[in-house]
Structure 1
Amino acid sequence: MPNEAVAATAEGLSNTTRRALLWGLAAASTAAAVAVAPDAHGAASLDPTSDQTENPELISAYQKFYDACVELTEARQAREWLADEWKHRWPLAPEALLWGANAQDGRYIDDGERDIIGRYLIRDTADLTKRMSAKYRRANPRTCFSLLTSTRERARMEDLKNSTPKGRTPKALERNQAFRNEAIRKCEQNIVVAEQYEAETARLRRISGADAVQQRVRNADACLRKAADEVSLCEARTLAGLGMKADALTVSASDLMKLTESDATPLGQLARLVNSVAQVAGRAAV
């Protein structure tokens, strides 16, 4: 629960904002809740009897940070809603375009198959009989594949056309020429399939407004990081103010915090200190 001293002084914001802060805001997809309630007329200090007030500039910066958290959360919710709405209209890539499995691990140079909002698309393998053995499909019922693009296949076709088949005998030369010609023919087929798939996915992104939704998330994320930086530049004069700064850092650097909080390094010590300050200052756990 939020620190009672902080909660008792949360009178500088609207009731709605104060309630949201006290109960926590799952901002920026982190486990950190924005639950420190700043008071424009005076925030609690470490000593509840102290009459020291918080820096107005910090309170103003923290309000902007809070608003940025709300906008990012709403932008991400809108993106998830769009993905759900268009999920059944989004086509799976044709089997001819599927390359390496387990692309969701980031193991390939080529990107993995994605859904309309850019998430890795994990698909069933049961019907992929042309590329996988029954044994492999049973062992790997679902995975994400890297995709063959028209650009890559066109480059491969040009390399084949510019190549010169060789053979020690006329028969071997004829066989190698036939291999090259067949490879070129398959490239031409794959290019047609890839271009059709790419055109259809581009059309769906366009008519669904997916690009605009993605841009809204990027803009909101940039605003949140800027707002968090402004909070970090302001002087804190009370424990509640330290909690505001800790919240801003916890949210804006959430990935780094998660990676380092268990490290036996100065970065790990800093991450644990930030979490402790936020908790003591009254941030609710989510």
Structure 2
Amino acid sequence: MPNDAIAATAEGLPNTTRRALLWGLAAASTAAAVAVAPDAQGAGALTSSGFPDQPESPALISAYQSFCDASVDLKEAHQAREWLADEWKHRWPLAPEALLWGANAQDGSYLDDGERDIIGRYIVRDTADLTKRMSAKFRRATPRTCFSVLTSSRAREIVEKWKRSSPKGRTEKARVRHELFRDKMIREYETNIVLAEQYEAETARLREISGAEAARLLVKEVDGRVLTAANEVSQCRAYTVAGLGMKADALTVTASALMKITKSDESPLGQIARFIESVAEVAGGAAV
């Protein structure tokens, strides 16, 4: 089936590439609708589905084209950032082992952020050479992961917390043992403050001289244009299935996070999300 082939092809593609495929299909549907409409038997002629056979709204076509152009610009801005990351990868330092905290930080499981590269992507690193603080059992079970990274500000908070703590224990011996441990923690984290400051200074310097910050701001600016263009699409009326596909496509892109959350929900939001997805799929399939 043609539709099955399209879905299978699009599924494994990056979001921007998958959207480009859907845009092409929707654009082809629009072109067909515009070409066929003048042959209808009068302005009020009906198609077999019972809807007026008329060309798509020029305003919607124009708004959707602007949306597509902005989306292409966003894809190019993201690609430029990825090229920048590749160019500077050999100069980007990994965080010192002493600053590595919890594993699987890419899942957002920790208060402290995971280790990232020059453009903000999570760094998933090998654990085989992390022998100072990682046990052999951990390294075998977790050969690769992203660690959360201790920051200088977080280390200072820990130092201050230890300094404020009072000796604990029922006996004098226990209180002395706790005090020795407290002093050890203070020394360790004061050392980590220095390590973290050095790491943060070097990564900040590389982000500045590489142009990574400018690239990030460009992505943010173009992303804003995509959202604005998508809103323009949503404000236009649609007269064809392809037009509905344009509106659904724009909404799917701008509300992608909400769509993923609600798509399997049994609430009205879930029903709306599934309807939008169906409209986009039908509009795309109409061109095949």
TM-score, normalised by the number of residues in structure 2 = 0.79
**1:57–1:234 contact (8 Å) kept in structure 2:** yes
Task: Report the Cα offset of residue 144 of structure 1.
Answer: 1.0
Q: Residues 43 and 240 of structure 1 are in contact (CA less than 8 Å); yes or no, is this contact kept in structure 2?
A: no
Asked if residue 121 in structure 1 is aligned to residue 123 in structure 2, the reply is: yes
Q: CA deviation at 1:259?
A: 3.7
- Mark the runs of 5 or more structure 1 residues left unpaired by the alignment: 3-22
- Which amino acid in 1 is paired with 2:202? E
Deviation at 1:127, TM superposition (A): 0.9
Among 252, 258, 272, which residue is 1:256 paired with? 258
Shift of residue 146, structure 1, vs aligned partner? 1.0
Q: Could you tell me which residue of structure 2 aligns to residue 34 of structure 1? A: 23
Alignment match of 1:66 (pick from 56, 65, 68): 68
Kindly indicate whether residue 93 of structure 2 is the aligned counterpart of residue 97 of structure 1.
Answer: no
Matches of 1:265 and 1:162, distance apart in 2: 50
Paired positions, count: 262
Q: CA RMSD in A?
A: 3.0
Structure 2 CA distance for partners of 1:242 and 1:69, relative to 1, 3 Å = same
Greater per-residue helix proportion: 2
User: 1:89, 1:27 → 2: CA distance?
Assistant: 27
1:189 aligned onto 2:191: yes
Report what 1:247 is aligned to: 249
Q: Which moved more, 1:158-167 or 1:94-103?
A: 158-167
Deviation at 1:124?
A: 0.6
Q: Which residue of 2 aligns with 1:85?
A: 87
CA distance in 2, matches of 1:280, 1:169: 75
Q: Equivalent of 1:161, from 160, 163, 166? A: 163
Residue 278 of structure 2, aligned match among 276, 280, 283:
276
Distance 1:187 1:51, change over 3 A: closer
**TM-score normalised to the size of structure 1?**
0.80
CA positional deviation for 1:174: 4.5
> Distance between the aligned counterparts of 1:171 and 1:265, measured in 2?
61
Displacement of 1:260 after TM fit?
3.5
Select the residue among 134, 137, 142 that pairs with 1:135.
Answer: 137
Q: Deviations over 1:89-111 (max 9, x none)?
A: 11111011011111112111111
- SS for the counterpart of 1:34 is helix
Residue of structure 1 in register with 2:6 after alignment: none
Taking only the aligned residue pairs, the percentage that are identical comes to: 65
Consecutive unaligned residues of structure 2, counting only runs of 5 or more, are 4-9, 38-45
**How big is the shift at 1:175?**
4.2
